[in-house]
Structure 1
Amino acid sequence: MFQRDYIMRMIEGMAQVSAAILGLRRAGKQEEALQVVEELLDRQFGMNGRLIRSLSEEDLVRMLSRSGDPDPSMLLGLGLLLREEATVQDDLGREGGAFQTRLKALHLLLRASSYGAQPSPDEAAERLLAELSAYELPPDSKRRIAAWREEQGRYDRAEDLWYELHEDGRLEPGELGRFYGRLLLLTDESLERGGLSRQELQEAAEPWLAETGKE
């Protein structure tokens, strides 16, 4: 019950924060909006923006853990707050900073989704992906998104990302074969819901399974 109450307060608080930041942005008070974000980072997460930007995703996950277990609600909250920060950075013409902030926010939301955060971070993650669509994402980000698409059951979209990595020359040996190996274990119905037929999957998988010795 305590955890549910905490999550609901966080969600309500984020809605208020979003409204407050939007109001400041519309009033041309972007620096004040950034200060609101900074104060919330310190109050809610005990970290300032500079520290958060300097830490890796793994470091942040460890710091936002309870008794050694990642806290999905904290990851969700931080991801949402960083997305708000990125919108203000855009207003200020800080394109590079906005890109990096959105990327970190996306990674945190994908992790929150994998850990079963409720409410689901998926809608917010989709919005971030739309905002990042004009950019070429790093290979690590593409891998994370592919894994998330697979978790969602969007196998066709996961496959597209693995092929992007292949075309970029960033595919590691056996990666695509292992992906296809997992999909071949699924039912025809699951594959169809995920945008793939059994026949096209088998045809696409054959050369990659040969690479992993799983023909």
Structure 2
Amino acid sequence: MINRDYILRLAEAIGRELSFILKLRRRDNDEEVLIYIDDVLLRTVGMTSRFLNSLSDEMLVKALSPIDRLNVEAALWIASLLQEEAAIYTARGNSSEGYYRSVKALALYLAASQQEPLEEAPFFQERILNLLQTLADYELPDSVKQQLFAYYERIGHYGKAEDIFFELLEHGKTIALLEQGRAFYQRLQAKNPADLAAGNLNEMEVAEGLAQVEKLL
């Protein structure tokens, strides 16, 4: 695991680049900004925006995991810069390009959070929250919802995790997904009532959720 101090230093380095990008955007020359973002991508991860956006979310994560372990630093640089591209395309009225870049960025943030304590870096937490707000009116791919399900549980937002779980169930009640749900509720049963309440669930809701999953299984 990369240590917390490194995550914070990385957040600071990315934040400096994003501050400069914001200054460029104030010149109202989007093409200049997109070229600069491409230059930063080449400098930091050795890949262009065009190449990164040609890959599916799953393929991009795999490309950044050459030894079955995500290159977290590269993932966070790419996520942050694609998020900036998304904002530019959305502002220009190209919501489709904005959506796809936002989803890729979210998938990378969530993948990185599985390995490193991004919740301890307010910078990345705010970036993730902004993406979730941006995508609130859109349907997310199931692969991203799976990541979001795990992410919400990890940061203690149990009610939101449950909501995502039931959204996934609507798309297909597979044995694997139901087993995930059962394990989720069993983990919640070990939490104390105060922790559950902080995560917007209570013991009765956990018991009801587990019973529902058991019935489906």
Same fold (TM over 0.5): yes
Q: Give the C-alpha shift of residue 5 in structure 1.
A: 8.5
SS at the partner of 1:133? coil
Match of 1:103 in 2: 103
Quick check: 1:142–1:161 contact (8 Å CA) kept in 2? yes
TM-score in terms of structure 2 length:
0.83
Which sections of structure 2, spanning at least 5 residues, go unmatched? none
Over 3 Å counting, the alpha-carbon distance change for 1:117 and 1:92 in structure 2 is same
- Residues 137-182 of structure 1 deviation map (CA, whole Å, 9 limit, x = unaligned): 222222221110011111111011112233x433433243343233
Q: Per-residue deviation at 1:30? A: 0.2
Partner residue of 1:158? 161
Instruction: Tell me the equivalent position of 2:174.
Output: 172
In the alignment, does 2:210 pair up with 1:205? yes
- Aligned residue for 1:69, secondary structure, equals coil
Aligned residues: CA RMSD: 2.6
Could you tell me whether the CA contact under 8 Å between 1:42 and 1:48 is conserved in 2?
A: yes
Q: Matched residue of 1:96: which SS? A: helix
Amino acid at match of 2:162: E
Which residue of 1 is the match for residue 125 of structure 2? 122
- 2:76 is aligned to 76
Contact 2:41-2:77 at 8 Å conserved across structures: no
2:202 & 2:6 partners in 1: Cα distance? 43
Contact 1:155 1:191 (C-alpha < 8 Å) held by counterparts: yes
Cα shift at 1:66:
7.7
Any idea what the Cα deviations from partners look like across 1:114-133, whole Å, max 9, x if unmatched? 11155633221111001111
CA distance in 2, matches of 1:143, 1:67: 22
Please give the alpha-carbon distance, in whole angstroms, between the structure 1 residues aligned to 2:182 and 2:190: 13
CA contact (8 A) 1:76 1:117 kept: no
* 8 Å contact from structure 2 (residues 158, 201) kept in 1: yes
CA distance in 2, matches of 1:83, 1:185: 37
CA contact (8 A) 1:180 1:209 kept: no
Aligned residue among 110, 115, 140 for 2:143: 140
Tell me: CA distance 1:9–1:196, structure 2 relative to 1, closer, same or farther (3 Å).
closer
User: Tell me, what secondary structure is at the counterpart of 2:145?
Assistant: helix
Identity of aligned residues (%): 32
**Which structure exhibits the higher relative contact order, with contacts defined as CA atoms closer than 8 Å and separated by 6 or more residues?**
2
* CA separation of 1:155 and 1:11: change in aligned 2, threshold 3 A: closer
C-alpha displacement of 1:6: 6.9
CA change 1:7–1:142 in 2 (3 A) is: closer
| Aligned residue-pair number | 210
